[in-house]
Copies of this chain bind each other. A is one copy, B any other.
Amino acid sequence: MKSIRLSQQTLQVLDRFAMEPASWLYGYELSRETELKSGTLYPILMRLAKHQLLETHWEHAGEGVPPRHTYRLTSKGIDLVKSERVAARKQLATRKPATAGGRA
């Protein structure tokens, strides 16, 4: 399996998951928070799940309540988010040296 492309939109989604690494989140909620359209978001979620960065689950809330398709970071997903953070910091350091921590 080819490795996934970490577009800006995909990173946005991963970052939202990284805020609460243990929680199950569902599409509509994510679409409100990231302001990604469903036609962008759902394919991203499916790709992330296919690459096992997210695991999925249909949540049964109750009798009259339609089940929700929920997603959560796998440990592989958590690792990826962490290393992406490191990479982002490094790149930032290269391009804009010492905005924070420079001489007073």
Residues of chain A having any CB pair with chain B under 8 Å: 46, 58, 60, 64, 66-67, 69
Contact = CB atoms under 8 A, between A and B. Distances in A.
Count of this chain's copies in the oligomeric assembly: 2
Contacts of A58: 60, 67
Main DSSP-derived SS at the A contact region = loop
Contacts of A69: 66
A58 B46 CA distance: 22
Contacts of A60: 58
A67 B64 contact: no
For the complex of A and B, list the 4 residue pairs with the smallest distance between their C-beta atoms, beginning with the closest: A67-B67, A58-B67, A66-B69, A58-B60
A90 B17 CA distance: 64
A67 B66 CA distance: 8
